[in-house]
Structure 1
Amino acid sequence: MREFSLFVGGMGCRRCVREVTARLRDVPGVETVSANPGNCMVRLSGSMELEDVLAAFTGTNYRPELEGTGRGDSGGTAAGKSTP
């Protein structure tokens, strides 16, 4: 099982939390989504692919950044940047 932690700037109100979590729940392989508007963090677990998670934010004003705390992530690189 993979776990990702994302910093999602601008996710500070209930409406934003609902929008972000709804988008992420629709990503294939996502089993759990937990959002904390206090620190703008979202934790995901499941068999999802990072590319699919990031694609869920396409067309939004949210710019997620991957935190390096989970198994199966790319070590904390910012979302949208390629790794060597």
Structure 2
Amino acid sequence: MQVVCLQEDAFYALFDKVIEHIESKRQDQPEKWIDGETAMKELGIKSTTTLQKLRNEGKIRYSQPQKKIILYDRDSINAYLEKHARETF
């Protein structure tokens, strides 16, 4: 086993680079829970009523952490779109 000695400044600089790298990797992954506006964009709809209908019929998953905040599961939206995808000729 090798032991590596670093000066304090070099250690904290390396530590900052590692944190920066981890955060950049985390930002590459899309959020699991998205707001209604983003959900409507992904579904290609313009009506909040249609979004509510999909939610009420159980076609897409949602979470309501507070009374007026409704978040939608991106994976269920993608699954819904895949389910309704048509193959080309």
Normalised by the length of structure 2, the TM-score is 0.29
Higher RCO structure, 1 or 2 (CA under 8 Å, sep 6+): 1
Normalised by the length of structure 1, the TM-score is 0.30
Report the structure, 1 or 2, having the larger strand content. Answer: 1
Larger Rg: 2
